Amino acid sequence: YTYSNVDPFDILILCVRVAVLIAVTLTVPIVLFPVRRAIQHMLFQNKQFSWVRHILIAIILLTLINLLVIFAPTILGIFGIIGATSAPCLIFIFPAIFYIRIMPNEKEPMRSMPKIVAACFAGIGVLFMVMSLSFIIIDWTSGSSKSGGNH
């Protein structure tokens, strides 16, 4: 079922569109704050707070988000990007990196078999992420985004 048979100027449809617009407008700053804070913590850990850097990071993030929204052909592409990055991270990469990071080198050196397996596990996760993102980008550039999940 599609919404092509529904009047786009129906009051209920317009109310839902306004509600979605308000929800998106109010949630972007909430999501932007922890991302900006994480970037500042990773890249500028030992530096004093700077409003210029704070605003510059926000502008760069908003520009990247807007470019993604403008150039993504459908919402399926955005969900594909989110799934292709978050699933390998949560399943493969983060557990392996956390294991390597948490286990002390005195108890288990980096060249031990469990840490080597964990590093390989993280590598496989990165490989899956790159492959999934490649398929999505190929779908976008070739114009065949109606692949029906064949890959």
Q: Tens of pLDDT along 23-72? A: 877 887 788 889 898 999 889 988 998 999 999 999 999 888 888 777 77
Q: Per residue in 10-24, pLDDT tens?
A: 888 888 888 888 887
Pick the more confident residue, 106 or 1: 106
pLDDT for the residue 145: 52
pLDDT for the residue 147: 47
Lowest mean pLDDT among 68-72, 85-89, 124-128, 138-142: 68-72
**Cα(42)–Cα(36) distance, rounded to whole angstroms?**
10
pLDDT reading at 91 higher than 80: yes
pLDDT reading at 150 higher than 50: no
Of 135, 132, 125, 131, the C-alpha closest to 90 is: 125
pLDDT for the residue 1: 46
Q: Per residue, what are the HEC states of the chain?
A: CCHHHCCCCCHHHHHHHHHHHHHHHHHHHHHHHHHHHHHHHHHCCCCCCCHHHHHHHHHHHHHHHHHHHHHCCCHHHHHHHHHHHHHHHHHHHHHHHHHHHHCCCCCCCCCCHHHHHHHHHHHHHHHHHHHHHHHHHHHHHHCCCCCCCCC
